[in-house]
Structure 1
């Protein structure tokens, strides 16, 4: 498993551009809330640590991970965010529901990245069990929310650097 080789929260702060002038939307799934709130806290804290202001972070909830793409689209269309971080958690069950949700969210976020001029960040855990999710939401493998925040900052910076 790739995550076992890398801590999701490890990054060199000197390699991360300032987020001081950036505005972020964060869409959080209400399903598996213990995990998704931990992911949100990681993303939020990392954005603040890298210069984002509280006023420039918009948090919105959607019922489940499948709805992340619609929530992210609404943020892109109805606010002036520079990036949207999508945070969710889908845990394998006994039915193929897991496969459909994971595939739909992955394809949906990819499609948003192609349709809109801002980055949409995939911060969705797709795990075999609850413990794997805990391990990646602030546990022994770090926090996918931290990784999502750093990715958002770097992608906004990349876009801005191309404009210059």
Structure 2
């Protein structure tokens, strides 16, 4: 089914880990503020709804999506941070800048995650226009911020499973 008629923020919540003792960093791009602020609200509220404590969620702002990688790396290197959620929005526009930015951010966040061994979640919208961005930031297609937070929670659950598994 196409996303034109579907809320994309539907996910299973079975067997989620206890996150009450976990610390999260949410790195938010200031560019496209209306969209990224809605993504932050979704991520923050989802973490709270599934057991995170407000005092264990740290927010950091960066100017644009390109800077999410370094901001995420700084937080991921902290011993007291368990997972990082990177939120941004790069709208296609009339030039190809979005291709370069999106690829660099995706690759950069992947590298940070692999380097630190911590979940670093790609919560960057890559829409064709402003309306598509709003539709995915709390609009008719759900909120990618919710999805990014749930991804962080599930990855921490997998990490716990992997490292507590004994033969």
Pairwise TM-score range, normalised by the shorter structure: over 0.9
- CA distance in 2 between counterparts of 1:43 and 1:141 reads 15
- TM score, norm. by length of structure 1: 0.94
User: Which residue is 1:82 aligned to?
Assistant: 82
CA distance in 2, matches of 1:22, 1:157: 11
Q: Does 1:46 align with 2:46?
A: yes
Q: Decide whether aligned partners of structure 1 residues 40 and 79 sit closer, same or farther in structure 2, where only a CA change above 3 A counts.
A: farther
- Contact residue 7 and residue 142 of structure 1 kept, 8 A: yes
The match for 2:138 is 138
| Aligned alpha-carbon RMSD (Å) | 1.6
Q: Deviations over 1:79-126 (max 9, x none)?
A: 511100000000011111111111111111111121111010000000
- 1:99 to 2:96 alignment: no
1:116 maps to what in 2? 116
Q: CA contact under 8 A between 2:125 and 2:144: conserved in structure 1?
A: yes
Shift of 1:21: 1.7
Question: 8 Å contact 2:26–2:85 — kept in the other structure?
Answer: yes
Where in structure 2 are there 5+ consecutive unaligned residues?
none
1:161 aligns with 2:158: no
Query: 26-35 or 92-101: which moved more?
Result: 92-101
Contact in 2 for aligned 1:16/1:150 (Cα 8 Å) = no
2:73 counterpart residue number:
73
**If the length of structure 2 is used for normalisation, what is the TM-score?**
0.92
Q: Which moved more, 1:12-21 or 1:31-40?
A: 12-21
Match of 1:47, SS state, is helix
Q: Give the 3-state SS of the residue equivalent to 1:91 in structure 2.
A: coil
Residues 1:4 and 1:151: Cα distance change in structure 2 (over 3 Å): farther
Q: Which runs of 5 or more structure 1 residues have no equivalent in the other structure?
A: none
* Runs (4+) off by over 2 Å: 1-9, 11-18
